[in-house]
Amino acid sequence: MRRGAQKKHVADGTGPHRRARRPVADVVDIFCGAGGLSHGFGQRGFHIAGGFDVDESCRYAFEHNNGAPFIRRDVTLLKAKEINALFTPGRARVLVGCAPCQPFSTYNQKNDDPKWQLLARFGQLVSEVRPDVLSMENVPRLLTFRGGGVFEEFVSSLEASGYYVIWDVLYAPDFGLAQTRSRLVLLASRLGHIELPKPTHVGRHRTVRQEIGKLPSLKHGEVSARDPLHRASKLSDTNLRRISGARPGGTWRDWNRRLVADCHKVRSGKGYSSVYGRMTWDDPSPTITTQFYGFGNGRFGHPEQNRALSLREGALLQGFPRHYEFVAPGERIHFKRVGRLIGNAVPVRLASSIASAVKAHIENVHD
């Protein structure tokens, strides 16, 4: 089956978002992280029944924002009966998940991370739980990882369990995300034909300005008095001089040579032009990584302020609503920890579009 091809085979909204009168279906989230995928489904009227993840630091963000239990569990040890226990009898069942994508990333040069095997485990759980609908999201490189065999085996396992399967690589700005992120999205259903979400913002992509342009100004190392997550990391004297001389959309090649890092003066480093860059106001942002709060980690310089993105700005560019909380009140905020929660999340706007497609499918089946 080729990319985008189709082949047939033998909630109350919870948390801070709007509550629907009758849930579309129950959703259980595997590899739930901070809850970006669940939150998108909750926005579309699904009941979030619970989430599983091995990372305890995800608990507060997932539970507080989604009104659902977080169960700390190594997915390799997770049992189908634990998942089934969360579903409401008689209600449509949706299983969603995003296996850790780092093993499939182009940044992983060795490809020997044992976590790549979690996708196969996810497929095994699907065959045991047999949800009505499955949604899986990951990096596009999964299509070619180990010659494409890992993804092909996953699809084959779904087909063998009687699922209709469809997938494609979706460009997130086409779905309202102000970020140039492309993701592999797969939907599978035992109920019949299911379609991927239709683009909603082709030719009118949301921009950095639309997402973060109205936030209060910050200096590097400063924290907003109104929002503790709107905080910027402190720059060294050298990096402050670098960003002061950076222009939106430019590169370190624009600087005085005395400011250029030694690693960029050698042949092997000359191709990395996007690091130490500023974003531009009227375009989507670059892909938000787990280290977006660091000026030297990519094109994460604020378009006009002399600092990198704040944690709140990174969350907004990931599609999280302004009210989303990642740390309990009074708890210390660590850039590395919160940056990981935000950068690893499924973008909420993309998740919401996926949820709309699943909702339409379930409602069509039950009409």
Question: Which among 349, 366, 317 is positioned nearest to 41, based on CA atoms?
Answer: 349
Alpha helices, DSSP H, located in 10-133: 36-43, 59-66, 80-84, 118-129
**How are beta strands 47-53 and 26-30 bridged, if at all?**
parallel
Question: Which among 49, 114, 60 is positioned nearest to 82, based on CA atoms?
Answer: 49
Helices (H) and strands (E) in the chain, counts: 10, 8
What phi and psi, each to the nearest 5 degrees, are found at residue 201?
-130, 30
Catalytic residue among 32, 98, 101, 263: 101
Encoding tokens for residue 285? 């942002």
Q: Taking the CB of residue 209, how many other CB atoms lie within 10 A of it?
A: 15
Angstrom CA distances, 23 to 26, 49, 136, 192, 362, stand at 7, 11, 21, 21, 11
Question: Which among 95, 65, 73, 102 is positioned nearest to 344, based on CA atoms?
Answer: 102
Question: Which among 165, 167, 169, 158 is positioned nearest to 188, based on CA atoms?
Answer: 165
Amino acid at 320: F
Give the gyration radius of the chain's Cα atoms: 21
Round to whole Å and give the CA distance between 28 and 302. 36
Q: Is 58 a catalytic residue?
A: no
Q: Which helix (H) or strand (E) holds 242?
A: helix 237-244
| 3-state SS, residue 227 | coil
Residues annotated catalytic, as ranges: 101
